[in-house]
Structure 1
Amino acid sequence: MDLLRFTTAGSVDDGKSTLIGRLLYDSKSIFEDQLEAMEESSRKRGDENVNLALLTDGLKAEREQGITIDVAYRYFATPKRKFIIADTPGHTQYTRNMVTGASTANLAIILIDARKGVIEQTKRHSFIANLLRIQHLVVAVNKMDLVDYSEEVFNNIVKDFREFASRLDNIVDITAIPISALNGDNVVEKSASMAWYEGPTFLYHLENVYVGGEENHVDARFPVQWVIRPMSDEFHDFRGYAGRVAGGVFKPGDEVTVLPSGFKTHVKAIHSPDGEKTEAFAPQSVCLTLTDEIDISRGDTIVKCNNPPRVSQDIEAMVCWFSTKAMPSRAKLIIRHTTQETKAIIQEVKYQVDVNTLHKIEGIDSLSMNDIGRITLRTAVPLIHDSYRRNRNTGSFILIDPGTNETVAAGMII
């Protein structure tokens, strides 16, 4: 079975955690003891119904306030597909948590309260999904029971959202579904109250949406993570390079270039836990052996000779600032990119994006927590990279404060 990673996003109290709870509950993906514990917690809290949000809201503060603060990951499977859910918070001050949860997602669920329609937080989360190159969106118009399951209300919300989404450039697929997470309408089963809706249920769409074409199988990239040198009599001369294929396809006999040295050689064999392979492609983890003895270490990248990546010390990127401390002027930080780690300095903040209006705020020299902006970096050694639009693996990085070891930003190379 293939795997679908998806994230939920929406404003406060739109019902993200309730939707995930309902999905797990109706698809029989929770155990009886979990259900009993949830019923007991709901009773103690004085809730009228079983509070399905308690399945994902695990922090004490989340349960006390009835909100999501941290990213909660849940795993479940149906006969058709395996799923990893990232339940992300809706509050503006937790934008950084949403960026973290959405960074590996194939699909984003944008929840909209049917009573409120498209609001600023809806636009914020859609912009972030677009920035992180999530190409599939599900617009889940929730709480339809509170607007008498009105088709007109649903159509107006979808029209408003599509009008805003037309200004975004990465999203290629938008599916709108009217639901009631509390009552289970159109989540797993078709709703009898919305006979006018002829589209798929929420779960059916998740099971059948095609996301297989999102990996870059054209540009061959293999960041070296570890050099395997057994030093045993059985494997006396073995030298392999282990890592995860970040793009493209590698086969024995392929001519490859090792960057940044520029030496050329050929792939001798591809090893895996299941034995030798005839090919390796993203996102498989394998070990390559080469025909020539070349000095290769962690941080180097093996690429095919066609479509080479960029190799440069000057990087331009969009970043989301995570730290509670504002970005210092010309901050000196550590950058981690694929398996490479080096020093970097922020040279310039070109602009900050107002994620609600998509306007650029220029003339600033710093970013504060949860701000998203465009910056230029200078690294101590050249980075072997692609644009984030072309390859999410070789086009992303994180910035770390060398003094506190705190991750202060996540970046997407332009």
Structure 2
Amino acid sequence: MPEENINETPKEISEEVETVDEEVIEDLFGKEHINLVFIGHVDAGKSTMGGNILFLTGMVDQRTMDKYEKEAKEQSRESWYLSWALDTNKEERAKGKTVECGRAYFETDKRRYTILDAPGHKNYVPSMIGGASQADVGILVISARKGEFETGFERGGQTREHAVLAKTSGVNKLVVAINKMDDVTVNWSKERYDECVSKLTPFLKGTGYNPNSDVQFIPLSGYTGYNLKDRVPKDACSWYNGPSLLEYLDDMQALDRKINAPLMVPIIEKYKDMGTIVVGKVESGKVKKGQNVVIMPNKHVVEVAAIYNELEDEVTSGSCGDNVRLRIKGIEEEECSTGFVVCDTQSPVKTATTFEAQLAILEHKNIICAGYSGVLHIHTCVEEVSISALLHVLEKKTGKRSKRAPQFVKKGQKVIARLETQGPICVETFEDYPQLGRFTLRDEGKTIAIGKVTKVIGNVTQ
């Protein structure tokens, strides 16, 4: 999507951009929509920060916050009350841990945002991957508190794994929120901030982020709200002159959206509510009420009876980047599943049980041979997969393929492999549709490899 001038009316913009129709540009509120995923180690303060943003932008009123504060005090959990705006179930509130990927919505004068509050605990990484697969921008929350940063960043901490998974899931912009700067062990110390930045920068660079263009570091306090919406007062922090978190997000360059590509909406959730409802992010194209679409891989042609936005309001259309709920006619709820994709009837997504991919082995104690199986996470799909053949090892420096097929690969190597799933899954090459062509391979609760699809073999769409 072209960079938006906030002062122009949607009509003026649409006259300049001939390739996109006026209805899509105008959007629901005439504002660009961005999906944010909050990631990071457990207890870094993700939910508290998200809850405070909802309060500061007026999405949660003072009365509701006072109620949460009173309830939290009764449970001797005073400092947790802000997180309750996002952590809504009893288990999450009792333990202070996010379990499911929470979802909330807020808007500023310039843009609309959806918060995807990912769980930090390593037991809930699959839920975190589900959240990251829908996001445009990652907010990596780091605790500056003495000991907490080190715990999250050391091997086994979730800071490292979450950053890798976010990159693999297609989150190409990262805001590193150095949180808890108001803590007594930190007290807005520039030395502590610089220490966190200097340790994180080389790691993020190794993960694939360009520190100069893809990463922004912001010191803040999710609990007091300093540097979330308004900048931190000079008497608290004299050395930081950069933007607050919301200032930075509002002024960020507009995202490139595939509005004119064929429709693709990977399903993240489905349920019954006076018919079948499917939930997902429009990864490409646009969808309109009354349109006939096909659900892959089952090839079910259905009608979009209604479209709902983040606020559960009914709208006439949704375009690339929007999180939508689609009420669909012509299919029962049990006939569609998470990982299926809602597509254009003329250009459906490819479906296959076999594909070739480039794999980077991140962590595995033993060597990996043909026959190895793990759990594949690709867009919203989670499926068992096995490596049926190792085809080429890639040289580290040149990226050249070996002529001879390797017998095995180990940690640190890159390989071209053939992968097979038990049933057909929706998949595209990384080159054509990055969001449907990048994946993570996990086993025994660990991320073993990240990869990108290079070739879809035996497309069964036709």
**Contact 2:170–2:438 at 8 Å: present in 1 too?**
no
What's the CA shift for 1:110? 0.7
3-state SS of 2:433 partner: coil
The residue type paired with residue 53 of structure 2 is L
What's the CA shift for 1:73? 0.5
Match of 1:158 in 2: 197
Q: Deviations over 1:332-372 (max 9, x none)?
A: 9999999xx9x99634487xxxxxxxxxxx9699xxxxxxx
**Contact 2:80–2:96 at 8 Å: present in 1 too?**
no
Identify if the C-alpha distance between structure 1 residues 210 and 93 changes in structure 2 by more than 3 Å, giving closer, same or farther. Answer: same
What's the CA shift for 1:376? 3.5
Match of 1:277 in 2: none
Q: Which of 419, 422, 427 does residue 377 from structure 1 map onto?
A: 419
Q: Does 1:138 align with 2:181?
A: no
Match of 1:188 in 2: 229
Identify if the C-alpha distance between structure 1 residues 303 and 178 changes in structure 2 by more than 3 Å, giving closer, same or farther. Answer: same
3-state SS of 1:69 partner: coil
Identify if the C-alpha distance between structure 1 residues 167 and 33 changes in structure 2 by more than 3 Å, giving closer, same or farther. Answer: same
Q: Deviations over 1:59-111 (max 9, x none)?
A: 22211111111111011112221111011111111111110111110111111
**Contact 2:118–2:127 at 8 Å: present in 1 too?**
yes
3-state SS of 1:145 partner: coil
Q: Considering only aligned residues, what root-mean-square deviation do their CA atoms show, in Å?
A: 4.6
**Contact 2:356–2:419 at 8 Å: present in 1 too?**
yes
What's the CA shift for 1:196? 0.9
What's the CA shift for 1:200? 0.6
Comparing 171-180 with 98-107, which one deviates more in the overlay? 171-180
Q: Which of 247, 255, 258 does residue 204 from structure 1 map onto?
A: 247
**Contact 2:37–2:115 at 8 Å: present in 1 too?**
yes
Question: How far apart, CA to CA, are the structure 1 residues paired with 2:265 and 2:78?
Answer: 55
Match of 1:395 in 2: 437
Question: Larger C-alpha radius of gyration, 1 or 2?
Answer: 1
Q: Which of 191, 194, 207 does residue 168 from structure 1 map onto?
A: 207
Match of 2:99 in 1: 69
**Contact 2:350–2:426 at 8 Å: present in 1 too?**
yes
Q: Does 1:149 align with 2:188?
A: yes
TM-score of the superposed pair, with normalisation by structure 2: 0.56
The unaligned stretches of length 5 or more in structure 1 are 226-243, 250-271, 274-279, 286-297, 320-328, 351-361, 366-372, 400-409
Q: Does 1:54 align with 2:84?
A: yes
3-state SS of 1:156 partner: helix
Q: Does 1:113 align with 2:143?
A: yes
Comparing 107-116 with 49-58, which one deviates more in the overlay? 49-58
The residue type paired with residue 73 of structure 1 is R
The residue type paired with residue 200 of structure 1 is P
What's the CA shift for 1:386? 3.6
Question: How far apart, CA to CA, are the structure 2 residues paired with 1:375 and 1:210?
Answer: 37
Q: Which of 315, 319, 328 does residue 355 from structure 2 map onto?
A: 315
**Contact 2:220–2:227 at 8 Å: present in 1 too?**
yes
Identify if the C-alpha distance between structure 1 residues 378 and 14 changes in structure 2 by more than 3 Å, giving closer, same or farther. Answer: closer
3-state SS of 2:58 partner: coil
Q: Deviations over 1:128-155 (max 9, x none)?
A: 1111121111111111112121112111
Question: How far apart, CA to CA, are the structure 1 residues paired with 2:121 and 2:174?
Answer: 20
The unaligned stretches of length 5 or more in structure 2 are 1-30, 267-280, 287-305, 308-317, 325-341, 361-370, 391-406, 442-449, 455-462
Identify if the C-alpha distance between structure 1 residues 200 and 390 changes in structure 2 by more than 3 Å, giving closer, same or farther. Answer: farther
Number of equivalent positions:
315
Q: Does 1:25 align with 2:67?
A: no
TM-score of the superposed pair, with normalisation by structure 1: 0.62
Identify if the C-alpha distance between structure 1 residues 349 and 37 changes in structure 2 by more than 3 Å, giving closer, same or farther. Answer: farther
The residue type paired with residue 355 of structure 2 is I
The residue type paired with residue 109 of structure 2 is P
Q: Percent identity?
A: 27
Q: Deviations over 1:259-294 (max 9, x none)?
A: xxxxxxxxxxxxx99xxxxxx984699xxxxxxxxx
Q: Does 1:13 align with 2:43?
A: yes
Question: How far apart, CA to CA, are the structure 2 residues paired with 1:49 and 1:380?
Answer: 47
Question: How far apart, CA to CA, are the structure 1 residues paired with 2:379 and 2:223?
Answer: 42
3-state SS of 1:212 partner: coil
The residue type paired with residue 103 of structure 1 is S
Question: How far apart, CA to CA, are the structure 1 residues paired with 2:376 and 2:187?
Answer: 54
Q: Deviations over 1:277-323 (max 9, x none)?
A: xxx984699xxxxxxxxxxxx9787459xxxx98976313569xxxx
Q: Does 1:127 align with 2:169?
A: no
Identify if the C-alpha distance between structure 1 residues 310 and 141 changes in structure 2 by more than 3 Å, giving closer, same or farther. Answer: same
Question: How far apart, CA to CA, are the structure 2 residues paired with 1:184 and 1:337?
Answer: 33
Match of 1:405 in 2: none
Q: Which of 219, 222, 236 does residue 178 from structure 1 map onto?
A: 219
Match of 1:346 in 2: 386
